[in-house]
Amino acid sequence: MTYKGRAKEFLERNAIKVWDKVIVTTKNSSFEAIILPGPETDRFIYLKLPNGYNLALNINRIMSLRKIGSISASYTLPKMHVSIMENLPEVSIIHCGGTIASRIEYTTGAVAPAFSLEELSHAVPEIFSIIKPKLTMLFNIFSEHMSPHHWLRISEAVHKEFVSGARAVIITHGTDTMHFSAAALAFMLDNPRGPMIFTGAMRSSDRPASDAATNLIASALLASESNIGESLIVMHAGPHDTIFSAHRGVRSIKLHSTRRDAFRSIGMPPIAEIDIEKRAIRIIHSNYRIPSNSEPKLLSAFEQKTALIYVYPGIPSDIIDMLVDKKYRGIVLAGTGLGHVPEYLFESIKRAVDEGTIVVMTSQCLWGGVYLDVYETGRRLKSMGVISGRNMLPHVAYIKLGWLLGQNLPEEKIKHLIEKDLRGEIISRESVVSFM
Amino acid sequence: MTYKGRAKEFLERNAIKVWDKVIVTTKNSSFEAIILPGPETDRFIYLKLPNGYNLALNINRIMSLRKIGSISASYTLPKMHVSIMENLPEVSIIHCGGTIASRIEYTTGAVAPAFSLEELSHAVPEIFSIIKPKLTMLFNIFSEHMSPHHWLRISEAVHKEFVSGARAVIITHGTDTMHFSAAALAFMLDNPRGPMIFTGAMRSSDRPASDAATNLIASALLASESNIGESLIVMHAGPHDTIFSAHRGVRSIKLHSTRRDAFRSIGMPPIAEIDIEKRAIRIIHSNYRIPSNSEPKLLSAFEQKTALIYVYPGIPSDIIDMLVDKKYRGIVLAGTGLGHVPEYLFESIKRAVDEGTIVVMTSQCLWGGVYLDVYETGRRLKSMGVISGRNMLPHVAYIKLGWLLGQNLPEEKIKHLIEKDLRGEIISRESVVSFM
């Protein structure tokens, strides 16, 4: 019991213990929940709701609290009985952590990464009728803690799988920065032998409404059948339970913090749609890259002295100045509109360029991209030496610039390659329907 | 003529002058354009396309160039004959600049603000059958150059109009940062007497396809008939020529850099839809604020030492450290997912809070908002003293925090008000259809 004072008394008075299932009645509503062992508090009790979210509720707001059961705080992993079917395509699953592999952290009541890979496999028995999985535990962290260093490790692990003969790789990953890792892998691994599919979950695996299993099944279906040689993100396509989208890794972004269909393709449709009920894959964007016949090539260097700066009215020029003082080699600006910044930043940007920092402009609008020739502000930035990121997403331009700087190329070559499409990150024409 | 070397020779050889209308034929296409006086160059010629965009074309790519006419580089303002109809509602139009009032900058070929207010009014004669406009030229800048200082001036000007009896105010403004200014005005002007409508244009007024006139007509219709007491953004609703959306200023963002329907309401539908053909206003979100009976109240202070930082894998903690060193009083973080940052930032964030900086967390996902209780990362940030921005948009949280800090309130009061809905900036429940 971590409660104290009035909260502790309140629970004791109602004969409720931590991990009891209860019916909570407030003035406005009545709902089922599990009492969590919250952090020390004397006014709130912490509840796990059936939808998986936690709620801190002031005890003054509770009209009644009735026990209807209890759960066990620790549970034993059921023994696995998995029949591996040898005639199925072998697909490597590389595990990097995230909600897909998380359960309640029982010391705090919050969700923390804890699920083992065995547990994960156990939770999705269907997968063994689609692919012959080969499991690798690379690391187990929430994706908000990923850094470029982790992208290198993911690329190395995927490269190893392809070299060992894998025809597809699934990477289980937290959703917070999945679009960053998917973009990084696209650049760092050239000539992939097949799809490199990032998937995760918006709701943790110990919840009935979790999307962990369905996302893995959709990923396995795509991995087993597709002939796509790209870095992809596979997650729910919309409110449907059985339809999933395969987004191009360098054109996707997480646009919702809670929904299962949190990811969106920007400026183009998803490459494919996967129906897990019909076990069907429908190609939407047929202009995808096919697997390469050449040797998979690992290009996993990243210049840490690369920064991404979001521009806004009032942004201090000190931020740019500091990066230049610290000898940053690349700065990506997420400018306003067609790629603009306030005039008072010009001096700092000019100094950055003059001192050899490569400055790339992108648009914080996400859709539409940069055109530095339309307005005076864009023309002035261009004349200072700012490079257009064209319609690259800001986070993708950041990764591409850091990656190019890591490859030890001449400065002029880097500037040239920034504006050139290398992995489908720059689109020739925005799909009209992609802007919603 | 600003061309030199080969570009100059090329034009002379084809007997083409600047401002000539031409048919350009390249290997792949043939199109009409106007020759612009580009910056000094010996390889490119600058073309204005019929859609209004400028194009720099390498002369090597041109197969033929045929003159079909010419335009005049300077034109005389036609004399205005406007009949002011006295029985129409008086609406104040405050002019702040932007594309809505721009035309080609003839020295460079780019678009620069130059249109006078008289020209603007002349361009939209329809407006005089809807409202009796009262015009104020506040300033004339592109909105990427706006800073909090301009927000104060806009608020003061709008306050002055309401105090003088205006029932509605239209603010013409560049679109790049229109959503920032619309949010700032929402906080800085309490008890508005009627709608405060921001409008602008995505295509400059000297182009046939400009949306300047239609946006102004839609704004005038809403101003003349609506009983809404909010800061709004009125722009095209979709690809339709005649349908416009009125977005709540504190819930809107520019999500496209080129389309006329660049703005979107996040987490809620637009408040109203305006059909300029039928001259009809349809309320979509009926839970809007009505005009106040109290005196309009100007609260136009803003703490400049407020910053907005977009979080990404690899972000240097130096950015936070520098802001704290420079005694920033407020930092809004646009975190990943439910409001997360990489663990290596914790130390800098903790120091910020400990030294009295108010740190507010928002989600860069835009939709869904922040929940600091679900994951361990959120819990740890909360325990350090990071305040939840709930579902406020990152740029709105930045403006709200800077504004609250400007009001000289006690720190605890500011922290309390950040999490409290003041102007519709925090929504109680996200509209399912608002996520596209």
The complex's ipTM? 0.82
Q: Are B59 and B75 in contact (CB under 8 A)?
A: no
Checking phi first, is residue A26 left (phi over 0); if not, alpha (psi -120 to 50) or beta?
beta
Question: In this model, does residue A64 exceed pLDDT 90?
Answer: no
**Parallel, antiparallel or unpaired: strands B263-265 and B272-275:** unpaired
Residue of A nearest to B176 (CA): A337
The residue-averaged pLDDT of A175-189 equals: 98
- Please report the pLDDT score of residue B110 as a whole number: 47
In the structure, what pLDDT confidence band is assigned to residue A435 with cuts at 50, 70 and 90?
confident
pLDDT tens-place string over residues B268-279: 999 999 999 999
Domains of chain B from N-terminus onward? 5-70 (2.30.30.520), 90-298 (3.40.50.1170), 306-418 (3.40.50.40)
The residue-averaged pLDDT of A272-277 equals: 96
- Does A374 contact B146 at a Cβ distance shorter than 8 Å? no
The residue-averaged pLDDT of A373-382 equals: 92
- Please report the pLDDT score of residue A52 as a whole number: 57
Q: Are B157 and B136 in contact (CB under 8 A)?
A: yes
Active site residue B76: no
| Beta-carbon-side half-sphere exposure of residue B286 (alpha carbons within 13 Å) | 0
Burial of B170 (0-12, 13-18, 19+ CB in 10 A): buried
Whether the model clears a pTM of 0.90, i.e. scores above it, the answer is no
Question: In this model, does residue A254 exceed pLDDT 50?
Answer: yes
Residue of A nearest to B366 (CA): A255
Q: Identify the DSSP state of B335.
A: E
Question: In this model, does residue A230 exceed pLDDT 60?
Answer: yes
Question: In this model, does residue A78 exceed pLDDT 80?
Answer: no
Active site residue B254: yes
In the structure, what pLDDT confidence band is assigned to residue A434 with cuts at 50, 70 and 90?
confident
Separation in Å, CA of B350 to nearest CA in chain A: 17
Rounded Cα distance, B429 and B391, in Å? 9
Query: Which of A172, A175, A177, A306 is the catalytic position?
Result: A175
Mean pLDDT of chain A: 88
Question: In this model, does residue A148 exceed pLDDT 90?
Answer: yes
The residue-averaged pLDDT of A140-154 equals: 94
Nearest-CB residue to A144 (from B151, B337, B395)? B337
pLDDT tens-place string over residues A404-414: 999 999 999 99
Query: Which ranges of B189-295 would DSSP assign to H, the alpha helix?
Result: 212-225
Q: Identify the DSSP state of A239.
A: S
**CA distances from residue A433 to A19, A436, B53 in whole angstroms, order as listed:** 48, 7, 22
Contacts of B376 in chain A (CB under 8 A): 105, 108, 110-112, 142
Instruction: Identify the bridge partners of residue A270 per DSSP, sorted by sequence position.
Output: none
Contacts of A55 in chain B (CB under 8 A): 373
Q: Would the CA dihedral through B99, B103, B105, B110 be positive or negative?
A: positive
- Please report the pLDDT score of residue A3 as a whole number: 81
Residues of chain B short of pLDDT 70, as ranges, are 1-2, 38-41, 51-54, 71-84, 101-123, 205-209
In the structure, what pLDDT confidence band is assigned to residue A104 with cuts at 50, 70 and 90?
very low
Residue of B nearest to A336 (CA): B176
- Please report the pLDDT score of residue B278 as a whole number: 94
Rounded Cα distance, B436 and A182, in Å? 22
- Does B309 contact A310 at a Cβ distance shorter than 8 Å? yes
Mean pLDDT of chain B: 88
Question: In this model, does residue A112 exceed pLDDT 50?
Answer: no
Residue of B260, B237, B238, B263 lying closest to B250 (CA atoms)? B263
Contacts of A368 in chain B (CB under 8 A): 256-259, 262
**Parallel, antiparallel or unpaired: strands A20-26 and A62-70:** antiparallel
